[in-house]
Structure 1
Amino acid sequence: MIPELEKLRSLLWDEWDPIGVNETNCPRDEYDAYARKLYSMLKSSASRDEILNYLVWVRTEYIGLGEKGDPATNADEVVADKAMKIHEDEQ
């Protein structure tokens, strides 16, 4: 796997995990599709706000944990910042 993508995958699993699967026997690929999307967004020069908005959208609308228009959580903010850092470090 591409190192940057693997780091994003681990980041989502370890630090974002909105549905709490990393403490279960759930397969580690639960958030892989989101990691691939983040990777693509970062490669396309997405801004931090775009990354953050994507994470909030996934959590609140796609997964359905909240209401449309809910604000970002601390986990969303931290993961957006760390995703940007991972991308910068891989350049």
Structure 2
Amino acid sequence: MMREWDPIGVSDDPEAWDEYDAYAGRVYVMLMDERASAEAIAAYLDAAATGHMGLSPSHLLTEASRTTADTLVALRPEFELH
């Protein structure tokens, strides 16, 4: 997730790799338990970045959230196997 969705730019810092753990847990619940759509997951990621992290909304942020959500939804069948 950090490669595609890294709103504060910490993916290259090993000490910060847990920065998004709280968001990842919620995304997992949305993806697997709630069967959320890519749109709903992307909206959550955008809200996390703008609301919780205080970033300004931007096209690049929205695009990264959408790409990440699309990837996760596409991988849902693989996650179900484990």
TM-score, normalisation: structure 2: 0.81
Q: CA RMSD in A?
A: 1.7
Runs of 4+ displaced beyond 3 Å: none
Query: What SS does structure 2 have at the residue aligned with 1:39?
Result: helix
Q: State how 1:42-81 maps to structure 2 within 5 Å.
A: 42=31, 43-67=33-57, 73-81=62-70
- Mapped to 2, the partners of 1:88 and 1:66 lie a distance apart of 33
Aligned length: 78
Listed as ranges, the gaps of 5+ residues in structure 2 are: none
Listed as ranges, the gaps of 5+ residues in structure 1 are: 1-10
One-letter amino acid of the counterpart of residue 24, structure 2: A
Q: Does 1:19 align with 2:1?
A: no
8 Å CA contact 2:42, 2:66 repeated in 1: yes
